[in-house]
Structure formats: structure tokens, C-alpha cells
């Protein structure tokens, strides 16, 4: 009899929910749908697609050498038919530089966030899960990094590394070695917020019964962390990663603007401004194009991050 | 509470020491502060060697470190290069209140900082004032009409300013209020520095030159305060005591600005006190753009020519500020919100 009741229930479910609804049962499917219902997130995705197209397709029409060619006769030209976005203090074409600089800026954002996410998650999980001395030591380390404004810390660090600026070949491109260092530095100095979030999450998760159950059946610490804890903290990590890319792009721009970022010949959206520090009222076009691209990219990323936050919030998934 | 404060401050000492060691090592790795003199034909190689020796840059690194803390007036160096130690140093070390000499200015670091700090405080406090007033008003305004067109508009604008590098905001300000107005022959805002180098140093001039940098900083940080205030206000406005106040017939304006705002601004106390030490460090980028002679500029200039004493004291000062204002934030928080107790 119990069998027949079960069958009846099953058939009921089958009739109520159509094939299409059944498909969207997974939380990731729901999250995807919610993401695409978020208007700003969709706008952000479209904006970001256009910017990525600009820096990739644009590279097919102009070579990096076009962007690095200096011409003292054409210095500080206002935007014209020849120089669409104007030229800089040594006559380089800012339009071409925004294409190649954009590639570097976006790459710096993505890779440095990857580093900071790995570090932040690792440190957060370790201190939340093991507690005690580990937590105390990592907590002090986090505090130390939080006690100096990030930009100040980064400036001191990069003043050390830009002393040894050479060029290296990555993916067939000759780029300044400072790119690699700046990526590492931004990654190493931006993990603190995330590690605090992850620590908090782990602290509350590890008290839950399913973790106790896992322990009871003999799961190892690493098994519990990788199989049971990490999947449950992935949502805040994804959101922090997305928003982090925007912050990293702005940070790189500030560093390069102050002369402590990526060194020539490699262009970034930040170092296109190099040398324009004291001339805000004369060569405004040097600021306009890179500034515009930075705002659009960061804005798009922030929209996407906001959309992801809403889409991945388990409380809002029915 | 006194116990709590003392405990927190004592706990901070190892932290500050660690930070100082960290920066010290970094600056040692950054190279020779007198490297630039090698390019100067008027400075002989001997003079350079003497300078390095007399400032203790030839000592082993661990001795330099000890000298930084305990001074070198008990330590002999060979200043006439005859192979025998002959002269005592003159520094007392930061533990005895001697914060060292700036290499660039050849003056005590304390003097150099004392000269710049007021300028940063002027800019920082005016920016903070504008930010808090604008942030609170905009936040409350948005919270009173959640999810309406105006609220969404405010949200979008705060997203935009949030995503802006400060140099773009500064540039737009300069384009509109300085260049365009100038081209139209109208009175316009000056862009560079605190005072006109030719003019008088009157307060009016300072105020006019404050406008653009202040607005640039405020434009970016207002968004954060407004978002924060909106969230906090939305929480309070649905509380029971607000409904009670309404039932008693108190006017809406009084409820909003007296009853609700009071409780909603409690978290703001923390936000502001945690922001203050960052004001001390100066808005590095803004001060560079507008040639504002404050702490941020001092930091960048010292970093450019590698002036370790200034940089060490600067970072130590900022870290001390962060620690102190964290404690201040906790105390203020407990003071304005009696529900919180120190345990």
C-alpha cells in the first residue's frame, strides 16, 4: 500500500511540474536565471563584452608598436582625425595605447584577484576551521595588513620592485616585468576582507550537524574542508572575486598614475596618464580616454557583482 | 572600560613593532638613498662616502635597526676613513623620542610632518564634513522612498561614482569649473596648490582652492556613506518605537530627523572613526593631482627620493592612528548605544 501511495505522489508531481520546470531545479540553474533577470547585471555583462571586444578586436587593426611609437613633433595633440583620443607628452597615440593598455589592465585585475581569492580563502578557512593558535596568528597577520592603508603599503612595496624593471616575453609579447610584480603585489595586499568573511562563514558552518556527521563517519579534516565547507562558502567568494577585479583595476591605475606601477614600454589604462600629474588643466584628453575605459569596466564589473550577489544569495532562492 | 582600553593599546604594541620592522626591511631593500647623488658632478665620491658613513648607512643592517630604536650616541664610527672608529653618532632613537632627520630636507622628521599635517587636516576634514552631511542627507532621502524612481536613480549614481578613479572626477571638475568657465570669460576655480604663489595667503583664497579637491574626494566617498545610511535607516524606520511615535501623533519630520536618525546613525560613528586615520595619511592621489602640499604628497615625494626616516615615521603614525581610532570607535559605539557592554 505504501508503494502505491508513493507512486501516486510521484505521478502527481509529474503532472504538476512540466519538463521545463524540472530542469531548473538545480540552484545553479536558478541562480543563472535570476542573474539574467537582474537588469543591471545584464547591462554590465553587455558593457564588459564590448570592452573586451574593443581591446581584442582593436589589436587586430593596430600593432603594439603603433602605440609605443613616439614622435616629438606630435606631442600633446588634442583629439583629431589623426589622433582619435589625442596624443601624450611624447607623441604616442592614446587611442592605440588604450587598446593594449586595456588588455594589461584587465589581465592585472583578473590574475591579481585570483591570487587574492586563493590567499583569502585559504587563510579564512585555516583560521576559522582550526581556531586556537592558528587563528590567533593569522588574525594578527590580517590586522597588520589592515593597519596600513592599502595604497600606502602597495606604494612602499612597489618602490622596492620597480628598481629592477626589465622586459620579458609572455605569450609572444614583450612586456615590462613590473606587470608580473604589480599583479603579485595587488594580490598579496587585498585578501584581508575576504579572509574575514570566509572565517566567519566557516566558524558558523563548522558547528552544524552535517559537519559533525561527516566527522563521525571518519572524514579527514581536508575531506571536510574540501567536500563540505568550500562548496558552501563559494557564493561570497565569487561575489568578492568579481568586485575585486574592479578594485584591482582602479588600484593599478592609481599606482601607475603615481609612477609606481607598470613601467614603460608596456601601457596600462593607469600609466597612460604618467607625466600628466601636474597638468590637469592643460592636457585633459590624456585623462579622459583611460578614465572613461576604467569607469566603464569597473562599473560593468560592479553591476555584475551586484547581480551575482542577488542571484547566489541562498535566502532569496525559493 | 579603562581596563579594556589599556588592554587594547598594549595588544597593539607588538603589531606596531611588526609593521615598523616590515617597512624598515622593505626600505632597506629599496636601495641607497644617495644613489641620485652619483649623477651629480658637483658631489665628489668622497663626500658621498662620508655622507653614507655619517648617517650610518654603512653599518650592518641589524645595527642600523638597533640605532633606529635606541640611537647611535653610544656607537663609534670611522668618519675620517683611517681604519679606526673615532666619532659617536648623534641620534637618540625613536624610543627616546628622536624621530630622526629627513635626508631630503635635512631637518627633523617631526618638523617636516608638522609642516604638512595641518594642510592634510584642512583638506581631509572639509572632505569628511561634506561627505558626512551629503551622505547622511542622501541616504535618509533614499530610505524614505525605497525602490521608487528617485531611490533607484540615487543607487545608479552611487554605483557610477563608486566605480570612478578619483582622477576622472577631478578632471571632470576641472573641465567644467575651471577650463570651461575660463573660456567663457567667467570667474573660474583655480586648480593648483593651496595658495597662489604671487598672492596673499588669505583664508578666502584657501577656501576657493579647497573646493575642487574637497569635492573630488567627497564625490567618491559620499556614495559609500549614502548606501550605508540608507540601509541603516531602512532598518530603523520599521522598528516598533517609530510606529509608536507615529501613533502618538508626532510629525513625520520630527520622527525622521530626531527619532529615527538618532538610532540610524549609530553605525555611522564606527564608519567615521575608522575613516579618520586614513585622512591622516592624506589623499595621496588627490593631493598629487591638485599639488596640495599635504601628507600624501610628502609620502610620494619621500618615496620618490627614498627618504627612509620620513617614510618610517609616516607609516608608524598612520598605523598608530588606525589602532587608536579602532579603540575610539569601540568606545564611542558603546557610549551612543547603551545596549553594548565591554566584556
pLDDT tens digit string along A72-115? 777 777 777 777 777 777 778 888 888 888 999 999 999 999 99
Residue of B nearest to A274 (CA): B289
Please give the average per-residue pLDDT across A188-214, as a whole number: 91
Residue with cell 546613525: B265
CA–CA dist B104, B15 (Å, integer)? 29
The SS3 assignment for A167 reads: strand
* Closest-approach residue (CA) in chain A for B159: A299
- Residues in chain B with CB shorter than 8 Å from the CB of A260 are 303
Q: What are phi and psi of B88, to 5 degrees?
A: -75, 150
> Does the pLDDT of residue B254 top 60, yes or no?
yes
* CB hemisphere CA count around A94 (13 angstroms): 33
Interface contacts (A, B; CB < 8 Å): 124
The band of A318, judged by pLDDT with boundaries at 50, 70 and 90, is very low
Confidence of residue A36 (pLDDT cuts 50, 70, 90): confident
Tell me the C-alpha distance between B83 and B130, whole Å. Answer: 62
pLDDT (0 to 100) of residue B282: 67
pLDDT confidence of residue B140: 92
User: Which residue from A147, A253, A302 is facing B19, i.e. has the nearest CB?
Assistant: A147
Question: How far is the C-alpha of B298 from the C-alpha of B284, rounded, in Å?
Answer: 9
Residue of B nearest to A147 (CA): B319
Report the pLDDT value the prediction gives residue B34, as an integer from 0 to 100: 74
Is the Cβ pair B315, A284 closer than 8 Å?
no
Q: What is the pLDDT of residues A248-296, one digit of tens each?
A: 999 999 998 888 888 878 888 888 887 777 777 777 888 888 889 999 9
Contact present, A99 and A55 (Cβ < 8 Å):
yes
Q: Among residues B290, B316, B317, B314, which one has the least CA distance to residue B303?
A: B314
Q: Residue count of chain B, please give it.
A: 343
Residues in chain A: 318
Specify the higher pLDDT residue, B58 or A49: A49
Put simply, the answer to whether A155 touches B29 (Cβ < 8 Å) is: no
Look at residue A14 in the predicted model and tell me its pLDDT. Answer: 47
**Cβ partners under 8 Å of residue B258, min gap 6:** none
pLDDT in tens, A17-28: 455 555 556 777
| pLDDT tens sequence across A135-181 | 999 998 898 888 888 888 899 898 888 877 777 777 767 778 888 89
Is B170 in contact with A146 (Cβ distance < 8 A)?
Answer: no
Residues 3-22 in B contacting A (C-alpha not used; CB under 8 Å): 14-16, 18-19, 22
B313 and chain A in contact, CB less than 8 A: no
**Can you tell me the mean pLDDT for B280-304?**
87
pLDDT at B150: 92
What per-residue confidence (pLDDT) applies to A1?
44
CB contact under 8 A, A163 and B278: no
Residue A5 has pLDDT above 60, yes or no: no
Residue of A nearest to B296 (CA): A152
User: Is B26 touching A (CB cutoff 8 A)?
Assistant: yes
Restricting to B residues 137-166, those with a Cβ less than 8 Å away from any Cβ of A are 156, 159-160, 162-166
Read off the pLDDT band of B342 (50, 70, 90). low
CB < 8 Å to B323, chain A: 147
What is the least distance, in Å, from the CA of B159 to any CA of chain A? Answer: 7
What residues pair up with A170 in beta bridges, in sequence order? A173
What is the arithmetic mean of pLDDT over A188-197? 92
Q: A146-150: long-range contacts at Cβ-Cβ below 8 A with a sequence spacing of 24 or more?
A: A146/A192, A146/B322, A147/B15, A147/B16, A147/B19, A147/B318, A147/B319, A147/B322, A147/B323, A148/B19, A148/B315, A148/B318, A148/B319, A148/B322, A149/B278, A149/B281, A149/B318, A150/A189, A150/A190, A150/A251
Q: Is the CB of B168 less than 8 angstroms away from the CB of A151? A: no
Kindly list the residues of chain A whose beta carbon comes within 8 Å of any beta carbon in chain B: 40, 140, 143-144, 146-149, 151-152, 155-157, 159-160, 163, 246, 250, 253-254, 257-260, 273, 277-278, 280-281, 284, 287-288, 291-292, 294-295, 298-299, 301-303, 306
Q: For residue A107, which of A63, A55, A151, A46 has the smallest C-alpha distance?
A: A55
CA distance B26 to chain A (A): 7
Q: Of all helices (H) and strands (E), which one includes residue B159? A: helix B149-162
Q: What is the mean pLDDT of residues B196-203?
A: 71
Under 8 Å between Cβ of B150 and B189: no
Q: What is the CA radius of gyration of chain A?
A: 25
B306 with A295: Cβ contact below 8 A: no
User: For residue B35, what is the nearest residue in chain A, using CA coordinates?
Assistant: A163
Q: How far apart are CA A161 and CA A183, in angstroms?
A: 12
B179 touching A, CB under 8 A? yes
* Mutation target vs A (from B19, B165, B213, B324; most A CBs, 10 A cutoff): B165
Q: Does B170 touch chain A (CB under 8 A)?
A: yes
The answer, for B85 touching chain A at a CB cutoff of 8 Å, is no
Q: Report pLDDT for B65.
A: 83
- The β-bridge relationship of strands A167-170 and A173-176 is antiparallel
User: Could B285 and A288 be called an inter-chain contact, meaning their C-beta atoms sit closer than 8 Å?
Assistant: no
CA distance A34 to A39: 10
Mean pLDDT of chain B, nearest integer: 85
Query: Which stretches of chain A are DSSP H helices?
Result: 2-16, 19-23, 27-37, 39-61, 64-68, 94-130, 132-146, 150-161, 178-188, 192-205, 209-216, 221-223, 230-257, 285-312
Residues B214, B127 contacting (CB under 8 angstroms): yes
Residue of A156, A249, A306, A310 best to disrupt the B interface, most CBs of B under 10 A: A156
Q: Where do we find the cell 616629438?
A: A72
Digit-coded pLDDT (tens) for B241-250: 999 999 999 9
Calpha distance B163→B244 (Å, rounded): 41
Whether A163 and B15 lie within 8 Å, measured CB to CB: no
Cis-peptide into A265, omega within 30 deg: yes
Is B76 near chain A, with CB under 8 Å?
Answer: no
Q: Provide the phi-psi class of A76: left if phi over 0, else alpha when psi is between -120 and 50, else beta.
A: left
3-class state of residue B137 by DSSP: helix
Q: Please name every residue paired with B101 in a beta bridge, in sequence order, or none if there are none.
A: B108
Distance CA B298, CA B314 (A): 9
Cα separation, A83 vs A98, in Å, equals: 12
Q: Does the pLDDT of residue B329 top 70, yes or no?
A: yes
Cβ count within 10 A of residue B189: 18
At what angle are helices B295-305 and A150-161 packed, to 10 degrees? 10
Map grid coordinates 594580490 to a residue: A187
Amino acid at each position: 500500500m505504501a508503494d502505491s501511495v508513493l507512486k501516486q505522489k510521484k505521478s502527481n508531481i509529474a503532472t504538476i511540474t512540466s519538463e521545463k520546470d524540472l530542469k531548473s531545479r538545480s540552484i545553479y540553474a536558478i541562480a543563472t536565471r535570476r542573474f539574467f533577470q537582474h537588469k543591471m547585471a545584464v547591462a554590465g555583462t553587455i558593457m564588459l563584452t564590448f570592452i573586451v571586444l574593443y581591446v581584442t578586436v582593436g589589436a587586430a587593426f593596430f600593432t603594439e608598436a603603433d602605440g609605443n611609437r613616439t614622435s616629438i613633433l606630435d606631442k600633446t595633440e588634442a583629439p583629431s582625425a589623426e589622433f582619435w583620443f589625442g596624443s601624450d607628452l611624447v607623441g604616442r597615440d592614446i587611442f592605440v595605447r588604450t587598446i593594449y593598455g586595456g588588455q594589461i589592465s584587465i589581465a592585472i585585475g583578473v590574475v591579481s584577484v585570483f591570487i587574492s581569492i586563493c590567499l583569502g580563502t585559504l587563510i579564512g578557512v585555516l583560521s576559522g576551521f582550526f581556531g586556537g593558535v592558528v587563528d590567533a596568528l593569522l588574525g594578527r597577520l590580517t590586522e597588520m595588513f589592515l593597519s596600513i592603508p592599502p595604497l600606502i603599503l602597495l606604494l612602499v612595496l612597489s618602490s622596492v620592485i620597480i628598481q629592477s624593471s626589465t622586459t620579458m616575453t609572455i605569450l609572444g609579447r614583450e612586456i615590462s616585468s613590473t606587470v608580473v610584480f604589480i599583479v603579485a603585489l595587488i594580490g598579496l595586499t587585498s585578501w584581508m576582507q575576504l579572509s574575514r568573511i570566509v572565517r566567519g562563514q566557516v566558524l558558523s558552518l563548522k558547528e552544524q550537524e552535517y559537519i559533525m556527521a561527516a566527522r563521525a563517519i571518519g572524514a579527514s579534516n581536508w575531506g571536510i574542508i574540501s567536500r563540505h565547507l568550500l562548496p558552501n562558502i563559494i557564493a561570497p567568494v565569487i561575489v568578492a572575486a568579481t568586485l575585486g577585479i574592479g578594485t584591482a583595476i582602479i588600484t593599478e591605475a592609481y599606482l601607475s598614475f603615481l609612477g609606481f606601477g607598470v613601467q614603460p614600454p608596456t601601457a596600462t589604462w593607469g600609466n597612460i596618464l604618467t607625466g600628466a600629474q601636474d597638468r590637469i588643466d592643460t592636457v585633459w584628453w590624456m585623462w579622459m580616454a583611460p578614465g572613461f575605459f576604467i569607469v566603464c569596466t569597473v562599473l560593468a564589473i560592479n553591476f555584475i557583482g551586484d547581480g551575482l550577489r542577488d542571484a547566489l544569495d541562498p535566502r532569496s532562492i525559493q | 572600560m579603562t581596563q579594556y582600553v589599556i588592554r587594547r593599546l598594549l595588544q597593539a604594541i607588538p603589531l606596531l613593532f611588526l609593521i615598523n620592522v616590515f617597512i624598515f626591511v622593505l626600505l632597506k631593500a629599496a636601495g641607497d638613498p644617495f644613489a641620485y647623488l652619483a649623477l651629480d658632478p658637483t658631489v665628489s665620491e668622497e663626500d658621498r662616502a662620508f655622507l653614507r658613513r655619517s648617517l650610518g648607512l654603512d653599518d650592518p643592517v641589524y645595527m642600523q635597526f638597533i640605532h633606529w630604536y635606541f640611537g647611535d650616541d653610544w656607537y663609534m664610527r670611522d668618519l675620517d676613513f683611517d681604519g679606526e672608529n673615532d666619532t659617536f653618532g648623534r641620534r637618540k632613537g625613536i624610543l627616546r623620542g628622536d624621530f630622526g632627520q629627513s635626508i631630503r630636507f635635512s631637518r627633523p622628521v617631526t618638523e617636516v610632518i608638522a609642516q604638512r599635517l595641518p594642510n592634510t587636516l584642512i583638506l581631509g576634514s572639509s572632505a569628511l564634513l561634506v561627505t558626512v552631511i551629503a551622505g547622511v542627507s542622501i541616504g535618509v532621502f533614499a530610505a524614505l522612498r525605497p525602490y521608487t524612481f528617485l531611490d533607484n536613480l540615487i543607487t545608479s549614481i552611487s554605483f557610477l561614482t563608486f566605480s570612478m578613479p578619483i582622477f576622472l572626477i577631478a578632471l571632470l571638475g576641472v573641465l567644467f569649473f575651471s577650463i570651461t568657465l575660463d573660456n567663457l570669460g567667467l570667474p573660474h576655480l583655480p586648480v593648483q596648490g593651496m595658495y597662489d604663489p604671487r598672492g596673499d595667503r588669505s583664508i578666502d583664497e584657501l577656501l576657493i582652492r579647497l573646493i575642487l579637491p574637497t569635492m573630488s574626494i567627497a564625490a567618491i566617498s559620499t556614495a559609500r556613506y549614502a548606501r550605508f545610511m540608507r540601509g541603516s535607516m531602512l532598518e530603523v524606520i520599521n522598528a516598533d518605537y517609530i510606529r509608536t511615535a507615529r501613533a502618538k501623533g508626532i510629525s513625520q519630520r520630527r520622527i525622521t530627523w530626531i527619532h529615527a536618525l538618532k538610532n540610524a546613525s549609530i553605525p555611522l560613528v564606527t564608519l567615521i572613526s575608522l575613516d579618520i586615520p586614513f585622512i591622516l595619511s592624506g589623499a595621496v592621489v588627490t593631493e598629487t593631482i591638485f599639488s596640495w602640499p599635504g601628507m600624501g604628497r610628502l609620502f610620494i615625494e619621500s618615496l620618490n627620493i627614498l627618504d627612509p626616516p620620513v617614510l618610517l615615521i609616516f607609516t608608524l603614525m598612520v598605523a598608530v592612528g588606525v589602532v587608536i581610532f579602532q579603540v575610539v570607535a569601540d568606545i564611542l559605539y558603546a557610549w551612543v548605544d547603551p545596549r553594548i557592554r565591554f566584556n
